[in-house]
Amino acid sequence: MSSCLTLKKSNCKNCYKCIRHCPVKSIRFSGNQAHIIEQECILCGQCVVVCPQDAKQIVDESEKVRVLLQSGAPVVVSLAPSFIANYRGAGIEQMRAALKKLGFYDAEETAVGAQQVKLEYERLLREEKRDVVISSCCHSVNLLIQKYFPSVLPMLADVLSPMQAHCADIKRRVEGAKTVFIGPCVSKKDEAEHYGGTVDAVLTFDELSAWLKAENVEIERTFTKDENNRSRFFPTAGGILRSMDCDLPEYKYIAVDGIERCISVLRELEKGSIHNCFIEMSACQGSCLGGPVMEKSRSTPIENLMLISDYAGSRDLDAPQPDSLYMKKRFTFIDLEAKQPSEPEIRQILAQMGKTRPEDELNCGSCGYNTCREKAAAIYQGKADMSMCLPFLKDKAESFSDTIVRNTPNGLIVLNDSLEVQQINSAAMKIMNIRYASDVLGDQVVRILDPKVFIDVRSTGRGVYNEPIFLTEYRKYVERTVVADRESKMLICIMRDVTEEENARKKKEEISRNTVEVADRVIDKQMRIVQEIASLLGETTAETKIALSKLKESIQDE
């Protein structure tokens, strides 16, 4: 399969919108980026339509067509019949004139090929008496059957699509012609490349509009109704049936549009519960008028249907029908080779996502997959990872957060903007002698703490950090931090119990004070002793001096 859809670098992160809308889940996620799995894709284009970041792009073949125009060969456009709705009010004559200004040789309506296809469908039912016949106009439906419903493949009409039939017819009529199909479909690019030799290039309406704008080519908005072209109804839901002669009484004629509805019918066909019917299938809801590259801003679905109805006729074109040999198309089974996990492997992956019981499998679809088991299979195949399960991530984050809050030695209180207690941990409950958290949850903080600091922080937005305070009621010393989270409008109070540290500090101060007092007393006593000793020594010295003086005098007298 060709790479018709590409991915550009974008802000693709934790969205999963594309996988939710992908009917076959052909998208894998790696590095927070979505990647299309080409082998599994049916090119319905839903991921392009729903991507909010415009991350999916359709490969532009405008340059390829310009090269064809420069080759000198006559390049003829096959214009999808939905053009009347996309280029509101312009008929084929007006579109042909505009396209010729871009250098095209000619332009015709794909409705010519649509008539050839519907006549071949009528022949199959009338001559070959097949049990169930599924229309083969929609390449996305064809790919869906080829890849995902191989048992239904024999029911798929082996008939060219209108695009192929018309382009083949152009090449038979115009010598050396190159053909370019223009329409509202992504998958036609792949169909043209896969079944080479008939359609040389495919443009979308978006690409044509950009080209016309760049060349300043205006389209005249008038048309003339032609009653001889009822195949113009093909792009509408039920349009194939409306173009056919549904007159065989042994057959039921059913129209199904929208890929989910198509899948539902295909499952019934697998069961063998449907017989004797012709089924028109279109991947897009509303058929081609709901195509992914219809320029939605142009008009509403009802207006589009009215435009088609006004432009289409009630009779067939007067044109020759090619031999059935030229209308044949061969469809083959496309093996996806996707490895399927066993039941134990699925259970193991589910357990890793925290889903150990059936009731844990919420099947919420937030990851994009319909069921948790389908998601587990995608993880096994490397298309998804655990982080895509939002309930799992939420539970994991809450569990991690709860573990931190529950085991931190600091007291934690969370208040809402009305100063009501929203959360309190065991450490805070111990500080304030609270037995059960339910006793205070939802109550005003004034019941347990002075609210002044919380009011100040709420009004100013300035936090208080490591403020030492004494909780008189609880006889506890704490260091308090109060901060405001403006986004969640919550106040967070963290209290570190420093009562033991404060008591130890006070005890140490008391010991130091007592030591100083004792030292002072000892010094005073020692000073008194010194003074007493000095006094005694002074008296003794004086008496000795007197005695010696008397002795000296006595000796001298002798």
CATH of the domain at 390: 1.10.15
Which residues contact residue 220 at a Cβ distance below 8 angstroms, ignoring those fewer than 6 apart? 90, 94, 97, 98
pLDDT digits (tens, 9 = 90+) for 272-326: 999 999 999 999 999 999 988 887 655 688 888 888 888 888 888 888 899 999 9
- Ramachandran region of residue 455, left (φ > 0), alpha (ψ -120 to 50) or beta? alpha
The bridge status of strand 411-415 relative to strand 277-282 is: unpaired
Residues 366 and 481 in one domain: no
Arithmetic mean of pLDDT, 411-431: 92
pLDDT recorded at residue 156? 97
- Sign of the CA dihedral with 467 first, then 473, 477, and 479 last: negative
Q: Which amino acid is at 530?
A: V
**Measured in whole angstroms, how far is the alpha carbon of residue 270 from the centre of its chain?**
32
542 in any annotated domain: no
Domain end point (choices 497, 516, 542): 497
- The answer to whether 163 and 78 have CB atoms below 8 angstroms apart is yes
Residues 64 and 200 in one domain: yes
pLDDT digits (tens, 9 = 90+) for 518-558: 877 888 888 888 787 877 776 666 666 666 666 666 666 65
pLDDT digits (tens, 9 = 90+) for 366-408: 677 878 888 888 888 777 776 666 666 666 666 666 777 777 8
515 in any annotated domain: no
Does the predicted model carry a pTM greater than 0.95? no
Q: Give the domain range for residue 133.
A: 60-324
Cα–Cα distance for residue pair 158/328, rounded to 1 Å: 6
pLDDT recorded at residue 523? 80
Residues 258 and 296 in one domain: yes
Residues 159 and 298 in one domain: yes
519 in any annotated domain: no
For residue 434, the tally of other CB atoms under 10 A from its CB is: 17
276 in any annotated domain: yes
Residues 297 and 415 in one domain: no
Cα–Cα distance for residue pair 202/15, rounded to 1 Å: 31
pLDDT recorded at residue 382? 77
Cα–Cα distance for residue pair 225/125, rounded to 1 Å: 31
What CATH number does residue 469 fall under? 3.30.450.20
Q: Which 3 state secondary structure label does DSSP give 388? A: helix
Arithmetic mean of pLDDT, 95-124: 96
What CATH number does residue 15 fall under? 3.30.70.20
pLDDT digits (tens, 9 = 90+) for 430-453: 999 999 988 999 999 999 999 999
What are the counts of helices (DSSP H) followed by strands (DSSP E) for the chain?
19, 16
204 in any annotated domain: yes
Residues 26 and 45 in one domain: yes
Q: Is the pLDDT of residue 509 over 90?
A: no
pLDDT recorded at residue 375? 80
| Residue 374 per-residue DSSP state | H
> Is residue 286 classed exposed, middle or buried when 0-12, 13-18 and 19+ CB atoms within 10 A define those classes?
middle
Q: Which 3 state secondary structure label does DSSP give 414? A: strand
Residues 294 and 167 in one domain: yes
Got the DSSP string for 485-526? ETTTTEEEEEEEE-HHHHHHHHHHHHHHHHHHHHHHHHHHHH
Mean pLDDT of the chain: 87
550 in any annotated domain: no
- The answer to whether 254 and 278 have CB atoms below 8 angstroms apart is yes
Residues 100 and 135 in one domain: yes
314 in any annotated domain: yes
pLDDT recorded at residue 108? 96
- Ramachandran region of residue 14, left (φ > 0), alpha (ψ -120 to 50) or beta? left
pLDDT recorded at residue 68? 96
Cα angle 48, 52, 56 (rounded to 5 degrees) comes to 30
> Is residue 191 classed exposed, middle or buried when 0-12, 13-18 and 19+ CB atoms within 10 A define those classes?
buried
Domain end point (choices 59, 76, 100): 59
According to DSSP, the residues that pair with 133 across neighbouring strands are 278
For the chain, how many structural domains are there in total? 4
486 in any annotated domain: yes
Residues 77 and 205 in one domain: yes
Residues 22 and 75 in one domain: no
Residues 318 and 463 in one domain: no
Residues 123 and 222 in one domain: yes
Domain end point (choices 372, 404, 436): 404
